[in-house]
Chain A
């Protein structure tokens, strides 16, 4: 039976920050409510300063709500025990440069109460998962941006959390690294892990998320299933392979003879620049 307790519940969250003694406080998050069910991948999108990171911090207990409340799997997020089930990757994380990749994972694992053989096996498993096995004993000071992001993901996963919170997980990462992180999110979804992410890269959010919320000036202005939100209700797309010009002409004529219907656009679908880049760099590597 599926778990009915939501992975994330945010009720009427309000967060004000004091700017100075005289001025009005700045409202970073304004009455935001959302719910993420277990196994979902939820994307929170919005411009800079719209309140995405503050919402995530409130969910992790790093900031206290001015009003409203947040819960993780039913536990108030201001309680320390709510964090047993959550892994977090902050935006542009800097980990301890004096530690190696394996030492970093061991450190975070121990903070979660892991010890001995279980921890050793878990560290190897995660380094393998994020493709950093070859750099396990290298200090993080010598890691590239993409490698840091991946070790960050590994530390977020160290205690095998049921919820993963990712703040701009692909910020500053090259397309190849970005693709790896995206593939990892797909794998985590297959395993039933709930993912709550915020990103500026709308195409990536569109690719991985089941549901999205759009936050603007602290308010959640739109929210729902991705397919419902982006579908153009009065249009239908048919993509043909190896269709002759005659067939296309016949279809176009058929549509023209149907009352109320119209061909909006015909032509060859285009690949994305990202796919082109990945194909080119992959063939270079091989």
Chain B
């Protein structure tokens, strides 16, 4: 054994933000070293493959390009949704029980780390992973869309010359084609996918504070994810209780579901973007507010449970 350290080390006590950042970066590194980015290869295959899906309902040769762009966006955003939600839920559900089981949690909480900092750090680490994953997928989708749109624009010009379209007609067809390519609304849709995954990750964090296994947390989280798509119906049950003649129990359940679960139907705007519609900035702001509200709400609820937990 070597010499004991001679001079004392007196560290500063650090800030909440600093500690949360350290735990978040650590959780991110931990997940990256679990080789989760391998799924990007699968995504690449799907995006490139979506170029070759044969769609039967072409209006005409000039519109076939739009369908290809539609297919690329649809498959890409669908895959992004799937990966981000699965990643958000499973990664969050994995991290907490693993720390408890391996007793690494003891060594962390034995340091001057408030439990809220620990939870927030873990969640932010997962969100960083989801964000980076989506950014990489978005980049790939944008490149594929850009290349494909350029090719289709060339084809459109050929058709326009062959058919002798007027300048106004060419401009109209060109605008129509570009509205299905990569644009800011599409980036907004990708951000909406991130917000939805963030809500689910925060929910998985809440469940994992009282759950005893990763499997239980994952199953319940996915169940809640599907229930979230019926939140609007539950809200209607609550609001229409008097007029509709629903019972008191149904009214209370409706209220609870409407309060606890986010309305995932709000995120149907992603489908509209795939169809080529623009995403209003106000709607994106509304989605951001909903995402932030539920992420913070679930994290604070997690803290209330976790603060009382004994190890």
The interface of chain A, by Cβ under 8 A from chain B, is: 57, 60-64, 80-81, 83-84, 86-90, 92-96, 98-99, 107-114, 118, 122, 125-126, 128-131, 152, 155-156, 159-160, 165, 180, 183-184, 187-188, 190-191
Contact = CB atoms under 8 A, between A and B. Distances in A.
Given A62-B310, A112-B11, A160-B9, A155 B107 contact: yes
Interface of B: 1-5, 8-15, 18-19, 22-23, 26, 29-30, 33-34, 102-104, 106-114, 308, 310-311
A98 B311 contact: no
Given A88-B106, A90-B107, A95-B107, A118 B9 contact: yes
B1 A80 contact: no
14 contacts: A62-B109, A64-B310, A84-B13, A88-B110, A93-B106, A98-B29, A98-B30, A111-B19, A113-B11, A126-B5, A129-B3, A160-B9, A160-B10, A187-B4
Given A89-B107, A113-B18, A129-B3, 19 more contacts: A60-B106, A62-B109, A62-B110, A62-B311, A64-B310, A83-B111, A84-B13, A95-B107, A96-B104, A108-B111, A109-B11, A110-B22, A112-B13, A113-B12, A114-B11, A122-B9, A128-B2, A130-B1, A187-B4
Contacts of B102: 94-95
Contact of B112 (A84, A92, A165): A84
Contact of A93 (B15, B23, B103): B103
B253 to A, nearest CB: 26
A80 B30 contact: no
A89 B14 CA distance: 22
A134 B256 CA distance: 58
A94 B13 contact: no
B4 A191 contact: yes
Contacts of B2: 128-129, 131
Contacts of A61: 109
A57 B310 CA distance: 9
A111 B104 contact: no
B12 A80 contact: no
B26 A184 contact: no
A159 B2 CA distance: 19
Given A128-B2, A129-B4, A94 B103 contact: yes
B112 A107 contact: no
A107 B26 contact: yes
Contacts of A113: 11-15, 18-19, 112
A128 to B, nearest CB: 5
A81 B8 contact: no
B111 A112 contact: yes
A235 B308 CA distance: 53
A93 B103 CA distance: 6
B22 A63 contact: no
Q: Of residues A112, A122, A184, which shows the largest number of chain B Cβ atoms within 10 Å of its Cβ? A: A112
